[in-house]
């Protein structure tokens, strides 16, 4: 039986060697190459027969998620299993969005790695149990997660936060201005800026959204 062509992309020589050692225990796989740089790997791929890539997530320069995204755009038939020490919700979500076919932690046993690769090549999605649970939770709450991810980038100024806190108490512009020792037009300007940042159109929306995302 012909073996499957595997490529490792990992900036750590030691980690790559450990993965290679695990692969060497099976005759099902042929290690096609090892790359420490995602850009070098992408340049190598055209014209090569690669069945599956074991991709690190955190690498200098282009990270594994971006490498996966670019690879899948031009070579969607190549399977990608993220093999990493990272299991944060954000990394998992981004990897899935980029087109990763599986997600295993680097402490995976040789047997589980072997089975995971074959499962992925067969059309499945190899995942460490803890990753599978997180992925299921993310998919169930994908809209909420996207909102949280977006609002993690929103930064209200201290004054905008003060104004929004006053708004949440049901105070009008005049009362807010008096409490914060600023003018009503200044209050209005702050609220306009808050609307733009939160992408809302009313004080009620702004307050609810800010409270839900712990901005106030």
Q: Please write the tens of the pLDDT for every residue from 178-189.
A: 999 999 999 999
The 8-class DSSP code of residue 205 comes to H
Rounded CA-CA distance 81/40 in Å is 18
Higher pLDDT, 216 or 107: 107
- Are 35 and 79 within 8 A, CB to CB? no
**What number of CA atoms fall less than 13 Å from residue 149's CA on the CB side?**
14
**Domains along the sequence of the chain with CATH:** 4-142 (3.40.50.2300), 154-212 (1.10.10.10)
Strands 4-9 and 52-55: parallel
Distance of CA 10 to the CA centre of its chain: 18
Q: Which of 77, 88, 87, 23 is nearest to 50 (CA)?
A: 77
Rounded CA-CA distance 42/202 in Å is 47
- Strand ranges (E), 98-183: 102-105
- Are 55 and 82 within 8 A, CB to CB? yes
- What pLDDT does 62 receive? 92
Rounded CA-CA distance 149/141 in Å is 12
Instruction: Read off the pLDDT of residues 15-55 as tens digits, 9 standing for 90 and up.
Output: 999 999 999 999 999 999 999 999 999 999 999 999 999 99
Question: Mean pLDDT throughout 53-78?
Answer: 94
């Amino acid at each position: 039986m012909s073996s499957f062509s595997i490529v490792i992309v990992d900036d750590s020589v030691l980690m790559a060697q450990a993965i290679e050692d695990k692969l060497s225990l099976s005759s099902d796989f042929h290690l096609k190459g090892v790359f420490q740089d995602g850009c070098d790997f992408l340049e190598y791929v055209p014209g090569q027969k690669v069945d599956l890539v074991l991709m690190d997530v955190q690498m200098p320069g282009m990270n594994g998620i971006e490498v996966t995204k670019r690879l899948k755009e031009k070579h969607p038939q190549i399977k990608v299993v993220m093999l990493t020490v990272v299991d944060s919700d954000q990394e998992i979500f981004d990897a899935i969005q980029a087109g990763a076919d599986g997600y295993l932690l680097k402490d995976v046993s040789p047997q589980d790695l072997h089975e995971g690769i074959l499962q992925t090549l067969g059309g499945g999605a190899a995942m460490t149990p803890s990753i599978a649970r997180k992925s299921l939770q993310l998919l169930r709450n994908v809209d909420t997660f996207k909102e949280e991810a977006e609002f993690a980038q929103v930064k209200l100024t201290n004054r905008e936060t003060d104004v929004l806190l006053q708004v949440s108490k049901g105070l009008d512009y005049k009362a807010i201005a008096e409490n914060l020792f600023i003018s009503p037009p200044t209050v209005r300007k702050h609220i306009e800026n808050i609307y733009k940042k939160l992408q809302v159109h009313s004080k009620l929306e702004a307050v609810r959204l800010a409270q839900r995302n712990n901005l106030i």
